[in-house]
Amino acid sequence: MLYSSTSSPSSASLASLSYYVIYVTLSITLSIATTDGFSTPYSISPLSSSGKHSLSASSSGKGFGDATASKKTPESTPAKNDEYNNKGEIYSRPSLYDMAFGYRNFEEEVDFLMDQHRKINPNKELPKRVLELAAGPARHCIEALATSYIESATAIDNSADMVEYAREIAAEELKSDDYTFEEISGKENGDVTKDSGYENRVNSLRYIQADMTNFTIGGGELFDSAWILLGSLQHLTTNEEAISCFRCIHRVLQPNGSFILELPHPRETFSLVECTRNGWDVPLEDDNGAISGELKIIWGDDDDDFDPIEQVRQFTVSMELKGQDPSKATLQSVKEVVPMRHFTSQEIDLLARLTGFELSR
């Protein structure tokens, strides 16, 4: 298995996270390859790498740096069913979560995902139907639909808040650039006929509230490519959970399909002698471009517990939204401990084999 320090031109700046590409062959076995993938939030400074992020002081705003300047972050709707929000407060604050990871260049990352699938597809074809698990705001699915890379996408997440939030984003992001959201879908004067493909694009994204270790897809739909990004597999801290997730994915992949995992590079695991604080700041702007505050993120702290036997770190995660005046109260804040597992490449190989996959070096 290769861990290269270089990557394809479309992902040249996206280093230090491993990409595991699992490929379903015609015989329903899988092969797996790796390459350095997206940049890790533990070491990147979004202020210096992606420019300023804009958001109003109420935390509803727009913009995620130079690459995603038109992205909207609507206020999240309270969950209608709290029983699904078992991952904690962090994932029940989708607008803060979306801002925290807004430095990522979704356009380049989707290019990378498409390119990886095409490289291992025997006909060098792009995927048409995509499944994203633990999708959160589903930015990658939405970007792939917006650029007409794919015909349809299905996103799965356990948080009702994330599901509702992503649907609001899709309604905004999948419109034509020629019209505003109000002109197309506004309650009073909206006219969807102005953008004939709008409803089709929005309806091409299906979001299902479900557990990624135990899900089914209605209608027997099969997918060309499945994604688990941003290290979300790390939430599965036991082998039983990971095996169940892999098996669910295996059942819904087409022959010649791909399964792409984004995980911290194993060098992160084997250098984890002591837990250290990892954090970054997201500068915020108001509608006029003036600095209105910042979002401070901590994703892992100095005194986090790490179990080297189970390979599980109790990540301290906090997000704090502040206005421009530091003397005033924090606008929003959330903090919790999130257990996350560190995987090695050998473990991914073994999990793949146990669920009907085969490693190809």
77 closest CA partner among 182, 166, 203: 166
In this predicted model, which residue has the larger pLDDT, 304 or 291? 304
Query: What are the tens digits of pLDDT across the range 130-158?
Result: 999 999 999 999 999 999 899 999 999 99
Query: What are the tens digits of pLDDT across the range 83-114?
Result: 333 345 888 889 889 988 888 999 999 999 99
> Binning pLDDT at 50, 70 and 90, where does residue 127 land?
very high
Of 153-157, 173-177, 292-296, give the range with the top mean pLDDT.
153-157
Give the pLDDT of residue 55.
29
State how far the alpha carbon of 40 is from the alpha carbons of 29, 134, 276, 280, in Å. Answer: 30, 18, 15, 11
pLDDT above 90: residue 341: yes
223 closest CA partner among 262, 263, 251: 251
Query: What are the tens digits of pLDDT across the range 298-336?
Result: 988 888 999 989 999 999 999 988 887 766 777 888 899
When mean pLDDT is compared across 83-87, 173-177, 200-204, the lowest value belongs to 83-87
Give the pLDDT of residue 249.
94
When mean pLDDT is compared across 190-194, 268-272, 292-296, the lowest value belongs to 190-194
pLDDT above 70: residue 129: yes
pLDDT above 80: residue 246: yes
Domains and CATH numbers, the chain: 9-273+344-354 (3.40.50.150)
- Tell me which residue has tokens 């004939």: 196
DSSP 8-state symbol, 67: T
In this predicted model, which residue has the larger pLDDT, 9 or 133? 133
Which stretch of DSSP H or E encloses residue 171? helix 160-173
Q: Which long-range contacts (CB under 8 A, 24 or more apart) does 22-25 make?
A: 22/258, 22/259, 22/260, 22/261, 22/352, 22/357, 23/120, 23/256, 23/257, 23/258, 23/259, 23/360, 24/250, 24/253, 24/254, 24/255, 24/256, 24/257, 24/258, 24/259, 24/357, 25/255, 25/256, 25/358
Give the pLDDT of residue 268.
74
Mean confidence (pLDDT) of the chain:
74
pLDDT above 60: residue 50: no
Give the pLDDT of residue 182.
53
DSSP 8-state symbol, 289: S
The verdict on pTM exceeding 0.85 is no
> Binning pLDDT at 50, 70 and 90, where does residue 196 land?
low
